[in-house]
Structure 1
C-alpha cells in the first residue's frame, strides 16, 4: 500500500475537478428524496429512519414495520456506490440476531449461492442494477415498486419460520 499522502493527493485532485463531488452530492440528494417520497406514500406500511451516508461506499436508510421490529429486524434501502446499484438489505439489531436469521435464511433465494453471511446484512437483494439517473421520476417509481415487492417477499419468507 502506498502512503496516505499519495492517496490524499489523488483524492484532492479528483475533488478539485469537481465531477465526483457533484455526482456524490446529487446521488445523496436523490436517496434523500426517495426517503421523503416513501414517507409520504408508504408510511402506512413502514416507518423510515434518517439517511446514513456511510463513507463513499453506501448511502442508505432503514425502514421497518411492527412485525420486523418484534423480530428485532429492519430493512435498508441501499445505494451501493461501488456497484452503482440499489439494494435492499435485511439487518438484525445485533450481530447475534443477524446470525440467527442468517441460519434461517441461508438457503433462501437471496443467499443460496453464498457460502457465508454478507458482511453487513443477513441478505441483500438487488432491486435496480443499472439505474438511469437521467430519468429520476421513472427511477424513483421503479425503486418504489421493487422495494415494496422485495420487502413483502422477504417478510413473507421470514414469517414461514414463525
Structure 2
C-alpha cells in the first residue's frame, strides 16, 4: 500500500465509485472473460480442460486451461484479462513455486523469458491481444483464440526441447 494511510485514500476511492461507471465497466469486462471461457470450452473441447473464471483482486480476471501434457509437468495456462492495461495475456503457471522457478530457469533465454526476474505469479506472461476491440465481441474472441492457438503451439515446441 502507499505511504498514505487508508483513511486518506477513501475519498478518492468513493469518488471513483460514485458515477457507477467503474462497476458497469468491470462487470462488462468480466462478462467478456466469462464468454471467452465458454468459447474456449467449445473450441478446444478435445484439447484442454477449461476451469471456471476466477477474479484476482481488482487487477486480473482469468481462467485456466490444462491438457495432459501440461498436467504431467504440473503446468497450466491462464487466459488473463489485465484490468490496469485493459488487454489480454497468456500466462504459463506452475502448480508450485518450485515448479515455476524450475521452468523459468529452463525457459530462460527463450522469447518469453528474457528478463532477469521471474514474474510474481507465473513463469512468463505474454500479451495476446494488446488493443482489444470491446465493441466487436466476435472479432475479439476470434483474435484471442487464434493468438492462443498459435502461441501455445510454439510454447509446446519449446517445452519439448
User: Which TM-score bucket, shorter chain as reference?
Assistant: over 0.9
**Which residue number in structure 2 is paired with residue 138 of structure 1?**
139
The root-mean-square deviation of aligned C-alpha atoms, in Å, is 1.0
Distance 2:49 2:77 in 1: 10
Q: Which residue of 2 aligns with 1:19?
A: 21
> Structure 1 segments of 4 or more deviating over 3 A?
none
Given candidates 47, 50, 55, the residue that maps to 2:49 is: 47
1:85 match: 87
The Cα of 1:6 is off from its aligned counterpart by: 2.5
Cα deviation for residue 10 of structure 1 reads 1.7
Q: Following the alignment from structure 2 to structure 1, what is the Cα–Cα distance between the partners of residues 8 and 47?
A: 48
The number of aligned residues is 159
Unaligned 5+ residue runs, structure 2? none
Q: Distance in 2 between matches of 1:149 and 1:64?
A: 16
Shift of 1:3: 1.8
Normalising by structure 2, what TM-score? 0.95
Q: With the length of structure 1 as denominator, give the TM-score of the two structures.
A: 0.95
